Amino acid sequence: MAALQPYDDRDGWIWLDGKLVPWREANVHILTHALHYASSVFEGQRAYGGKIFKLSEHSARLRRSAELLGMELPWSVEQLDAACIETLEANGLTDAYMRPVAWRGSEQMGVSAQATKPHVAIACWTWGKYFDPALAEKGIRLDIAPWRRPAPYTAPTESKASGLYMICTLSKHYAENRGYNDALMLDWRGQVAEATGANTFFVRDGALHTPTPDCFLNGITRRTVMDLARRRGIEVIERAIWPEELETFEQMFITGSAAEVTFVGSAGPWNFEVGDLSRQLAKDYDDLVNGRIPNRD
Cα 192 off chain centre by: 18
Specify the DSSP element, H or E, that contains 192: strand 192-195
Q: Which of 59-68, 120-129, 265-274, 288-297 has the lowest mean pLDDT?
A: 288-297
pLDDT tens column, 154-189: 999 999 999 999 999 999 999 999 999 999 999 999
Q: Which of 1-15, 27-41, 185-199, 257-271 has the lowest mean pLDDT?
A: 1-15
Q: Which fold has domain 13-125?
A: D-amino Acid Aminotransferase; Chain A, domain 1 (3.30.470)
Domains of the chain, by residue range, sit at 13-125, 133-289
> Which active-site residues does the annotation give?
160
Residue 1 confidence (pLDDT)? 43
The candidate with the shortest Cα–Cα distance to 201, out of 172, 181, 228, 165, is: 228
Q: Do domains 13-125 and 133-289 have the same CATH topology?
A: no
Residue 99 confidence (pLDDT)? 98
In 3-state terms, what secondary structure has residue 230?
helix
**CATH 3.40.250.10 for the 133-289 domain, yes or no:** no
Residue 297 confidence (pLDDT)? 60
pLDDT tens column, 228-250: 999 999 999 999 999 999 999 99
